């Protein structure tokens, strides 16, 4: 497996959400991102995605910093503790910036439409759900209270250039459908906020699990519609295999055991995380002894 990204200095990021305690998959992604960025002589930013305030808990936020320390990782920019995060780095400080991008998208005829349908509404998964005037299911308009804003996705695949795999075509219509960019509460949705944050931070390398390939495609599509986001197309992406549960299921914050501390409560030391990273990178078993052993083996 290729284990490198671009030769020159890069800027990567850790981007957890404080909506639950971090699980093994989150920890593996952190270590893998750290290894690739440090190997390339790059800088690493801690970005915490906190727009979902309904699920944010102080304990979840604090555990992000605890988990990073427990793993032995460092980063160059970003908050050092929950208080500094809330004061200087919360995504709520950038709502105006997100809204400006939403307004720019809305000005493009036929790109966005309003929708009040719920996730459980039986709608087609793609832009077949929408007419020129709006959603087939609800007929909402942009002035409808509590309406989300959706993007009409293309019917042709988006090509994602992966540093490890090469070009990967992603059919957004089949995998994600017309995704939300503005939620029913008026706040920006993940796809738009993540794109805006990465552009502001100057992120040049994004390391994600395979399950986020559709998100990468969605953000590349959004960036192509905006005048100020052209540089996002030059971002280097790495999509790694997911860490699955013993039953072969994708790990979830809400389903993990024990539920009270996440990965730090599940294992006695980070060596299990290092071992999972070593296996992912096809490194010798001895590489799992420590973070420095992983670095040497890589």
The residue-averaged pLDDT of 173-184 equals 95
Grade residue 227 by pLDDT with cuts at 50, 70 and 90.
confident
Residue 272 belongs to some domain of the structure: no
Q: In the 8-state DSSP scheme, what is residue 251?
A: P
| Residue predicted with more confidence, 242 or 197 | 197
Please determine, for residue 19, whether its predicted confidence score (pLDDT) is greater than 50. yes
* pLDDT given for residue 260 in this prediction: 67
What's the rounded Cα separation, in Å, for the pair 298 and 295?
A: 5
Residue 190 belongs to some domain of the structure: yes
Q: What percent of the chain stands above pLDDT 90?
A: 77
User: In 3-state terms, the chain is what percent helix, strand and coil (to 5)?
Assistant: 40, 15, 45
The dihedral through the CA atoms of 210, 282, 234, 38 has a sign that is: positive
Please determine, for residue 133, whether its predicted confidence score (pLDDT) is greater than 60. no
Q: What percent of the chain stands above pLDDT 70?
A: 86
Grade residue 8 by pLDDT with cuts at 50, 70 and 90.
low
* pLDDT tens digits along 44-71: 999 999 999 999 999 999 999 999 999 9
CATH of the domain at 242: 3.40.50.620
* pLDDT given for residue 170 in this prediction: 98
Residues 6+ apart with CB under 8 A from 144: 114, 116
* pLDDT given for residue 134 in this prediction: 63
| Residue predicted with more confidence, 139 or 184 | 184
| 211-234: b (≥16 Cβ within 10 Å) or e | ebbbbbbbbbbbbeebeebeebee
- 3-state SS class at 40: coil
For the CA atoms of the chain, what is the radius of gyration?
A: 20
The residue-averaged pLDDT of 197-201 equals 95
Q: How many CA atoms lie within 13 A of 133 on its CB side?
A: 5
Short-list 201, 2, 4, CA closest to 97: 201
Q: How many structural domains are present in the chain? A: 1
- Write down the mean pLDDT value for the chain: 89
Grade residue 266 by pLDDT with cuts at 50, 70 and 90.
confident
* pLDDT given for residue 246 in this prediction: 47
- 3-state SS class at 128: helix
Contact 37, 43 (CB under 8 A): yes
What's the rounded Cα separation, in Å, for the pair 148 and 144?
A: 9
Residue 281 belongs to some domain of the structure: no
Q: Tell me the β-bridge partners of 160.
A: 168
Short-list 119, 63, 100, 120, CA closest to 256: 63
Grade residue 29 by pLDDT with cuts at 50, 70 and 90.
very high
* pLDDT tens digits along 66-105: 999 999 999 999 999 999 999 999 999 999 999 999 999 9
Domain containing residue 229: 11-266
């Amino acid at each position: 497996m290729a284990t490198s990204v671009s030769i020159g200095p890069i800027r990567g990021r850790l981007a957890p959400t404080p909506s639950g305690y971090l699980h093994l998959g989150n920890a593996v992604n952190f270590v893998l991102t750290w290894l690739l960025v440090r190997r390339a002589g790059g800088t690493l930013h801690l970005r915490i995605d906190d727009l979902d305030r309904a699920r944010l808990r102080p304990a979840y936020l604090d555990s992000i910093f605890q988990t990073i320390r427990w793993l032995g990782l460092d980063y160059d920019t970003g908050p050092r503790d929950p208080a500094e995060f809330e004061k200087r780095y919360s995504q709520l400080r950038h709502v105006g910036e997100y809204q400006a991008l939403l307004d720019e998208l809305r000005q493009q005829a036929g790109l966005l439409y309003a929708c009040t349908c719920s996730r459980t509404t039986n709608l087609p998964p793609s832009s077949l759900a929408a007419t020129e005037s709006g959603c087939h299911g609800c007929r909402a308009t942009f002035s409808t209270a509590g309406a989300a804003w959706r993007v009409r996705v293309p019917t042709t695949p988006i090509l994602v250039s992966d540093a490890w795999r090469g070009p990967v075509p992603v059919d957004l219509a089949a995998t994600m459908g017309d995704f939300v960019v503005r939620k029913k509460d008026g706040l920006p949705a993940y796809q738009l906020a993540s794109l805006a944050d990465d552009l502001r931070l100057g992120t040049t390398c994004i390391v994600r699990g395979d399950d986020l390939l559709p998100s990468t495609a969605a953000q590349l599509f959004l960036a192509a519609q905006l005048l100020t986001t052209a540089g996002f197309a030059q971002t280097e992406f790495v999509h790694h295999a997911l860490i699955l549960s013993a039953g072969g299921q994708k790990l979830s914050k809400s389903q993990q055991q024990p539920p009270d501390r996440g990965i730090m409560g599940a294992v006695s030391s980070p060596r299990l995380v290092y071992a999972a990273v070593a296996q992912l990178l096809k490194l010798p078993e001895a590489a799992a002894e420590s973070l420095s052993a992983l670095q040497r083996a890589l």
